[in-house]
Amino acid sequence: MKRGKKWPMLLLSLMLTASLAACGGKSSTQDTQTPEKTTDNTTTQTEDTKKDSGEKVELSFWSLGTTNYEELGKEYTKEHPNVTIKFQNTSDQTAHHNNLTTALSAGSGAPDIFMLEIGFMERFIGAEDKFYNLNDLGAKDIAGNYLDWKWKQGSSKDGSFQIGLPTDIGPTVVYYRTDLAEKAGLPTEPDAFGKEIDTWDKFAAVAKQFKDKTGKPFADLTDLVYNGIRDQSEGEIYFSKEDGSFIGDKNPQVKKAFDFTVKGIQEGWIGNTLLWSPEWGQATNDGGFDVMLGPAWMAGNIKSNGPDSSGKWRITQLPEGAGNWGGSFLTLPKQGKHSKEAYEFISWLDDKENQLESFKTKGLMPSIPALYTDEAFTGFKDDFFGGQATAVEYGKAAQRVKPVYYGPLHDQVDTFFKDALKNVLEKKADPAKEWDAAVEKAKTLAARS
Amino acid sequence: MAEPVTAVQTVSAGKRPFWTEQRRSRLTAYTFISPFFILFAIFGLYPIFFTIYLSFFKWDALGPMKYVGMKNYDLVTSDPMFWTSFTNTLIMGVMGTIPQLIIALLLAVMLNSAMTRFKKTFRVLFFMPNITSIVAVTLVFSTLFGNNGMVNWLLHQFGMESMAFNSGWWGVKIAISTMVMWRWTGYNAIIFLSGLQSIPLDLYEAARIDGANRRQQLAFITLPLLKPFIVFVTLISTIGSLQLFTEPYVYLGQSGTGSTRQEGITMVTYLYSEAFRNGFFGTAAATAVMLFIITIIFSMINMWVSGRMEGDTGGGKA
């Protein structure tokens, strides 16, 4: 090989290396490209209001699940031409929160606004140095607008640190089918049906009666029955609010939920399907059971699983008070550079008017109690639920919710108890032994924290 | 080598330039292959060493790291769930791999025989399961294995009791192994097929002339010459089954919430839930290190066994 030819080759190989490195940086180029799209429809606007618009700010927003926030974001940009919001939406909760964990521990990559689901709250609420304290940005003044228990879910123990603004909530209600209730000789009107089952003992008696008359299970599956009672716990469930130690074996409400579900299994009025399984969906559609204990957002699942059952469902209150399952918060990770603009946007997105809008378009249950008596909210009638004013029932449930402390290992420990119940149901295992095994597993796990 | 001795002497006597011809060409070569090594160092080596380092710390990924020595290893090895995940992985590995390899080999021989028509179509069909999304596959299979699913219906047709494929000790394993088999059998069959096609046809011809029947041909020509492929496929399948994750994760969690039911927990689901559900990155790292060691042990056993097999037949290399 001639000497002169080597330098170009070296150059070529360096270029190859460089181009490979560029491949690695692909995501960053995409990042800068997408906002152009979102700004497209606002460029004309920007021209008109050029004089009074301040510094151009682009807020990144990681949103979770189905919301109408993207549409609202566009509306916001119309009013505030200097602010554009770039959305990145995912429906995978676990991945969504793991991405934030990665970004926070790596020190870069977190968005300006992050939608935090309550199930993952405990993981982040202790990391006060990683998030803006919304109280410093003015959240203190609007705290009173939101449900007290929901607000507290996003506060530190002493209440001085507020990690997020409450968005939607998930108060639990009883969904039931009128056609099956009628067959079993039960009242079909929500108030009367609710009265029939207003304590758990009465619920069990009605369930047994239903099973005897129709041969079908009363409730759909173990998990949701267990959740219904578990979520009515006083203040804490599996972990102590004080020191985070495992107290699940001493909490009478957990034992009550467990024993009640076992009773249902043994008396045969709880169905044998798995939550989220296609079989469960089929049973929802075909009338395989009468009641489902679920949060407000469960209506969406019932509608999509049971298109043939439209008009046959109603909603009533849970025995002995409501619980809450799910709901999110809007948080501002400290890696974001525009806390002021971000806060202004989320407090707008989360105000009364826009929560009502989110309820109407996507069924997100508002966390602002003032809405529960608002004509625009209570007047909402759902044909799927036989024209019932469902919003009223959700609102009633929301006000019965008592706040509970979950603890970082809540979800995992909860699975141990659910698995135990599944073993009782499917393997005819001894409930007492299963309880002990679940407690043992929970203790092994808790010993690590 | 052909350079005259005098030339070397003049170079060493005078001021030797740093960029000799040899060094330049070496640099070129290294630069060409550098992208791989750079990327490997960043995305391969660094995480490996960081994992080992992390396994001595307690860390929730957000707060500060706290040195705990060997405590993470103690916690993991004293956790009955870890050992359940270990035995599960082995059992499902055996159940998913061995029948799969036999079926794959038979399929490949069938496909290779001159009689099969539509060879290309079959090849595509075999490969299809491998490129479909595991999550979608798992959801379909969870319908089949449901309490009132098709598999239980079939069992009833044969007068058998229905099985608890969601919670039974064997039920869960059968369901998951079936998914693994469905996904990988075709893939391995294609690899075997390429091996079969590398065997020269005149060997079969000679054997036929000598009066060997089909079975003898399979036993004395096909299998010995296919040995390198069998060893390769077994090794890959072993490593693959030690890393079994998506099938149990989705199957037991239904919507991908990742239940850790002990009937179906594998080492990787254990690791995953330690890190991303419980937030114990230290014990998760310790699990990863142990998984790494176990994988190495199994690969070595594999190689040792295949080495011995090679010795027995007197070095049957193709």
Query: Which residue of chain B is at minimal alpha-carbon distance from A273?
Result: B147
- Model pLDDT, residue A14: 52
- Please list every residue in chain A whose beta carbon sits closer than 8 Å to the beta carbon of residue B164: 426-427
Measure CB to CB from residue A412 to each of B28, B63, B273 and give the nearest one.
B273
At B63-88, the pLDDT tens digits run 889 999 999 999 999 999 999 999 99
Q: Do A318 and A174 contact (CB within 8 A), yes or no? A: yes
Closest by Cα among A216, A215, A255 to A232: A255
Residues in contact with A115: Cβ distance below 8 Å, sequence separation at least 6, in sequence order: A61, A62, A63, A64, A67, A96, A167, A328, A329, A330, A331
Please state at what angle helix A339-349 crosses helix A69-79, rounded to 10 degrees.
Answer: 120
Residue written as tokens 């971000």? A342
> What is the percent of chain B with per-residue pLDDT over 90, rounded to a whole number?
48
Measure CB to CB from residue B63 to each of A98, A127, A279 and give the nearest one.
A127
Give dist(CA A333, CA B45) in Å, integer: 30
pLDDT confidence tier of residue B257, bands split at 50, 70 and 90? low
- Please list every residue in chain B whose beta carbon sits closer than 8 Å to the beta carbon of residue A220: none
Is B7 a residue whose pLDDT tops 60?
no
Task: Look up the pTM and report it.
Answer: 0.79
Residues in contact with B195: Cβ distance below 8 Å, sequence separation at least 6, in sequence order: B108, B225, B226, B228, B229
Is the model more confident about A147 or about A30? A147
Q: What is the DSSP string of A196-217?
A: HTSSHHHHHHHHHHHHHHHSS-
Partner-chain contact B75 A411, CB within 8 Å: no
Measure CB to CB from residue B34 to each of A17, A123, A276 and give the nearest one.
A17
Is A330 a residue whose pLDDT tops 70?
yes
B95 to chain A nearest CA, in Å?
Answer: 23
Q: Is A427 exposed, middle or buried (0-12, 13-18, 19+ CB in 10 A)?
A: middle
Measure CB to CB from residue B259 to each of A277, A415, A426 and give the nearest one.
A415
Partner-chain contact B278 A444, CB within 8 Å: no
- Please list every residue in chain B whose beta carbon sits closer than 8 Å to the beta carbon of residue A10: 27-28, 31
Region A173-197: mean pLDDT is: 95
Does the predicted interface ipTM exceed a cut of 0.85? no
A280 to chain B nearest CA, in Å?
Answer: 10
Test mutation, A10, A11, A277, A304, chain B, max B CBs within 10 A: A277
Report how far apart, in Å, the C-alpha atoms of A357 and of each of A67, A117, A352 are: 10, 20, 9
Partner-chain contact A448 B278, CB within 8 Å: yes
At B24-75, the pLDDT tens digits run 899 999 999 999 999 999 999 999 999 999 999 999 888 889 999 999 999 9
- Model pLDDT, residue B162: 83
pLDDT confidence tier of residue A176, bands split at 50, 70 and 90? very high
